[in-house]
C-alpha cells in the first residue's frame, strides 16, 4: 500500500518541541513518536533533520518531515534546498510552505515541489486558503494541508481548527487534503474526516505538555 493509502482516514501525530524547551532533543521526540504509535497513530509528522533521521530509524509508518527555519513569515521548509535536506532524512513526505508569500530565496514553490519529486518523495503543501491549495495542486503538490490557516495574517491566532477550510479544500482539490492546525479534541478530528479530510494531523493536544498543562492551569480559579 502506498504512503497516502496507509494514511486514509487515519491519525497522524505531529511530534515537535520548540527552541529552548525541555523536550527539544531528537531522542525525546523519537520516544514521543513511539508513544503516539502505541496509541494508534498511523503516521508521524516531525521537524528538524536530526529528529527526522532518528525517528526514521525507529518507525516504519509514513513520516512527514519538515524543517522549520525561523519562526516568522515563510519558515516551514522555506526553500528547495531545505526540502532536499528533509528528503535526505528518509521522510516519505516533505511538507513545505505552500502559501503565496515570497520565499526567502525569492524562488518559486514549483522548484521546491520539483526538488522533492526528484528526491523520490511526496510533496505536502501547507496552505492557509483554498486559492493557495488549488495553486499548489496545479503546481504538482501530492497532498495539501490546512496547516497554515490562521497563521499568515495579522491579529490573534484563532483557538479552534479551520474545518470550513478543510471542507472547501476537499471539495476543490483533486489531491488528498490533510486537516491540520488546532485540532484539540477527538470530536474535532472525527469531524475533519467527516468533512472530507483524507487524514488528520494532531500536534499540540497530544505532544506538547507545556501547552496542555497551561490549558488546565489556566482553567483553575485564580488565587
Ligand X SMILES: CC(=O)N[C@H](C=O)[C@@H](O)[C@H](O)[C@H](O)COP(=O)(O)O
**List of residues contacting ligand X (CB under 6 A):** 14, 16, 66, 76, 147-148, 151, 180-183, 201-205
- Which secondary-structure segment (H or E) carries 65? strand 63-66
Nearer to ligand X, 146 or 170 (CB): 146
- Residue 192 CB, shortest distance to ligand X, in Å, is 11
Tell me, what DSSP letter sits at residue 63? E
Name the nearest CA neighbour of 116 among 63, 169, 59, 77: 77
Please give the grid coordinates belonging to residue 103.
Answer: 520565499
The H-assigned helical ranges of the chain are 3-7, 26-38, 49-58, 80-87, 109-118, 130-139, 163-172, 186-194, 204-207, 209-219
- Position of cell 525525546? 28
- Residue 223 CB, shortest distance to ligand X, in Å, is 30
- Residue 217 CB, shortest distance to ligand X, in Å, is 18
- Residue 126 CB, shortest distance to ligand X, in Å, is 7
- Residue 165 CB, shortest distance to ligand X, in Å, is 13
Nearer to ligand X, 125 or 183 (CB): 183
Facing residues of 200 across strands?
A: 11, 179
Nearer to ligand X, 77 or 170 (CB): 77
Please give the grid coordinates belonging to residue 154.
Answer: 495579522
Please give the grid coordinates belonging to residue 182.
Answer: 488546532
Nearer to ligand X, 108 or 160 (CB): 160
Please give the grid coordinates belonging to residue 209.
Answer: 505538555
Nearer to ligand X, 69 or 111 (CB): 69
Please give the grid coordinates belonging to residue 12.
Answer: 497522524
Amino acid at each position: 500500500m502506498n504512503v497516502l493509502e496507509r494514511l486514509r482516514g487515519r491519525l497522524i501525530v505531529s511530534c515537535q518541541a520548540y527552541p529552548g524547551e525541555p523536550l527539544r532533543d531528537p531522542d525525546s521526540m523519537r520516544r514521543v513518536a513511539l508513544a503516539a504509535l502505541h496509541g494508534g497513530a498511523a503516521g508521524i509528522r516531525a521537524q528538524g533533520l536530526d529528529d527526522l533521521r532518528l525517528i526514521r530509524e525507529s518507525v516504519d509508518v509514513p513520516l512527514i518531515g519538515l524543517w522549520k527555519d525561523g519562526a516568522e513569515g515563510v519558515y516551514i521548509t522555506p526553500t528547495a534546498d531545505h526540502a532536499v535536506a528533509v528528503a535526505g532524512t528518509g521522510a516519505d513526505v516533505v511538507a513545505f510552505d505552500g502559501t503565496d508569500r515570497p520565499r526567502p530565496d525569492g524562488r518559486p514553490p514549483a522548484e521546491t515541489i520539483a526538488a522533492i519529486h526528484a528526491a523520490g518523495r511526496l510533496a505536502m503543501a501547507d496552505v492557509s486558503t483554498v486559492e493557495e491549495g488549488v495553486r499548489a495542486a496545479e503546481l504538482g503538490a501530492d497532498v495539501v494541508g490546512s496547516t497554515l490557516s490562521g497563521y499568515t495574517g495579522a491579529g490573534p491566532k484563532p483557538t479552534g481548527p479551520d474545518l470550513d477550510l478543510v471542507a472547501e479544500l476537499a471539495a476543490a482539490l483533486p489531491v488528498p487534503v490533510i486537516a491540520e492546525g488546532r485540532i484539540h479534541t477527538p470530536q474535532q478530528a472525527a469531524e475533519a474526516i467527516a468533512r472530507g479530510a483524507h487524514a488528520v494531523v494532531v500536534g499540540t493536544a497530544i505532544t506538547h505538555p507545556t501547552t496542555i498543562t497551561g490549558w488546565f492551569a489556566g482553567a483553575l480559579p485564580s488565587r
